[in-house]
Chains A and B, each alone.
Chain A
Amino acid sequence: MVENDDPAAAPVLRTTYTRAGKARTIGITGPPGSGKSTLVAALVAAYRRAGERVAVVAVDPSSPFTGGAILGDRIRLRDQFLDEGLFIRSMATRGQTGGLARATGRMAAVLDAVGYGVVLVETVGVGQEEVDVVRLVDTVCLVTVPGLGDDIQAIKAGIIEIADVLVVNKSDRPGADEAARDLRYMLSLGASRTGWTPPIVRTTATTGEGVERLVKEIDAHRTWSRESGEHDRRRLGAARSEVETLLRDELVRRLGDRRGAALDALVAKVASRETDPYSAVEQLLGVSDRSG
């Protein structure tokens, strides 16, 4: 319901939204196969040991052809399946721009409101959709692995700028030192916008090595974020985009309800090049600013 942009979800969100905001939300993103799910499982174990209730939202890409998806991330968390303090929800990207980020944000808000102290969001860090998703969380961990070589350049674009903690996973493999060095070098190139320099943490998710340190760095980021005002800035940004999106949808819907025929007619005229989209919008809104 919540993930379907279903109007029926609105009452749920109305009552839960104002109760949300207590959870730590943590994004885990990075290239396919870098060990995100394994790391999520290790983080779940660490937070559960600390007595937190944990929710995991795992986002898998949909097939671009059929829209279908196989959501397999539960498998890595199987040992912890029947733990009452753990909730796992898989989501597919479903191909609509912005839709996924909204759905994920709402899911996280609901889980937060019902008392999960930690919400982990796993996404494959490749597209804009995923970048939008992780923007919604408090702390973004970018997971890389040794041996990416120049490929590291590819993930750098766009996403490294939103990473708060950099993880070199599979540190049991050769090349971990170089990977960490490359990341440090890349960080040194860009001036930090916020005053936060992302720490670089080495982990071996399969054995749990480095995970305690990762938890500490995530905490440190959270503390800094709260004290520096970055936390409020992010929440403000997320709230603005949520409200603006809903406003946009609602305006289009109301217009369609009241002036559906006029809208259809104008769309047809735009299609046949009788008019242009700008004039069509002005006409629909009843503003003719041609008069100047």
Chain B
Amino acid sequence: MTVGVQPSPIRVVVAKAGLDGHDRGAKVVARALRDAGMEVIYTGVHQTPEQVVETALQEDVDAVGLSILSGAHNHLFPRIAELMKQKGLKDVLLFGGGIIPDADLPFLKERGVDRIFPPGATFDEITTYLREAVGRRRH
């Protein structure tokens, strides 16, 4: 019989960490990912790194996307990456977006952030990236 096993939808946590309370960008990304067929767990604003990682763990996700506008990226990303490692989420992708100076990118990459999208990134770029990167990790 030719009933193919359907791959399960990609599950992503979209989180807004740090002090700034603007989540329009994060919400728009969440909606775009949903429209691309993904299951998005949207956390709301003011998440601590512990909360973000606990959510990723309980929700059994493929990726964690973090939106940071507050300038605290050099603190929040490494902290989340570290907690993810501690909790055994080594196959979970960490990516992000927001206003982040180019000069900080190598540091973040080295600390375990897979990819940072600049403010002008298109939804297509983000969904294509997730499909490819998650596809690679699931194998």
Contacts and interface: CB of A to CB of B under 8 A. Distances in A.
Judged by DSSP, the binding face of A is mixed
A157 interface: no
Given A4-B8, A260-B1, A71 B39 contact: yes
B34 A252 contact: no
Contact of B54 (A68, A81, A256): A81
Interface string A189-213: 0000000000000000000000000
Contacts of A78: 43-44, 51
Contact of B51 (A6, A65, A81): A81
B71 interface: no
B59 A1 contact: no
Interface string A25-66: 000000000000000000000000000000000000011011
Interface residues of A, number: 31
A236 interface: no
B34 A69 contact: yes
A122 to B, nearest CB: 14
A74 B33 CA distance: 18
A82 interface: yes
Contact of B58 (A3, A67, A89, A263): A89
A6 B50 CA distance: 29
Interface size class of chain B, counting residues whose CB lies under 8 Å from the partner chain? 20 to 34
B60 interface: yes
B80 to A, nearest CB: 15
B30 interface: yes
B40 A71 contact: yes
Given A68-B9, A68-B40, A264 B50 contact: no
B42 A66 contact: no
A70 interface: yes
A85 to B, nearest CB: 13
Given A82-B54, A264-B1, A75 B39 contact: no
A68 B59 contact: no
B31 interface: yes
Given A63-B34, A82-B50, A92-B39, A75 B44 contact: yes
B36 interface: yes
B120 to A, nearest CB: 23
A72 interface: yes
22 contacts: A3-B8, A65-B35, A66-B36, A67-B9, A68-B9, A68-B33, A68-B35, A68-B37, A68-B39, A70-B30, A70-B42, A71-B41, A72-B44, A75-B43, A75-B44, A78-B43, A81-B51, A87-B58, A90-B41, A92-B39, A252-B1, A255-B1
Given A68-B9, A75-B43, 20 more contacts: A1-B60, A6-B8, A63-B34, A63-B35, A66-B35, A68-B34, A69-B39, A71-B42, A72-B41, A74-B41, A74-B44, A74-B55, A75-B42, A78-B44, A78-B51, A81-B55, A87-B58, A89-B60, A252-B1, A264-B1
